[in-house]
Amino acid sequence: MASKRLIKELDMFNREPSSAVVELATVSDEDLFHLRAVLKGPDETAYEGGLFILSISIPSNYPSSPPEIYFQTPCCHPNVNFKTGEICLDLLKTSWTPAYGVVSTLEAVQQLLSAGGEPDSPLNIDLAKLLRAGDLVGAEGLVRLYTRLYAMGR
């Protein structure tokens, strides 16, 4: 069931691409359950112009369980672990339903970047401290710096 659903989702993405997802493909022809995505940094944010590579593992009981998604490109965000790429997003844990798919989940990750995140349950303590202190200029500068360093190929 998982493979049929995933094949259908990938086919749909190829026919109707997402404005948030630049690329979505299997890592190898032999393994349908490991995907690589390239997520576009949201416009009019400090992530704009960045391209973020994400690793996606699809569980065997998908879509009953959510995919595991990690940033491979370092991403400076209060709800993303800068070193491991782990994403703190309810949709990837408790709020998951089979109505979501891989592309809509990636779009939710892009929306998380747009929204600025939740500094009260951070995976990036340093950025969260800036946000909690009200230093929005410092926080945005840090995000822009890391986006340029890691997601813009400069």
Catalytic residue among 35, 39, 88, 127: 88
- What structural domains does the chain harbor? 2-151 (3.10.110.10)
**pLDDT given for residue 154 in this prediction:** 52
Exposure string for 30-60, b = 16+ CB within 10 A, e = fewer: eeebebebbbbbbeebbbeebbbbbbbebee
Pairwise CA distance, residues 16 & 143, whole Å: 30
One-letter amino acid identity for 116?
Answer: G
**pLDDT given for residue 120 in this prediction:** 83
What are the mean pLDDT values of the chain's consecutive 10-residue runs (154 residues total)? 92 96 93 96 96 97 96 97 95 95 97 89 92 94 96 80
- Expressed in angstroms, the distance from the first to the final Cα of the chain is 42
**pLDDT given for residue 29 in this prediction:** 85
**pLDDT given for residue 32 in this prediction:** 92
Could you confirm whether 88 is annotated as catalytic? yes
**pLDDT given for residue 136 in this prediction:** 93
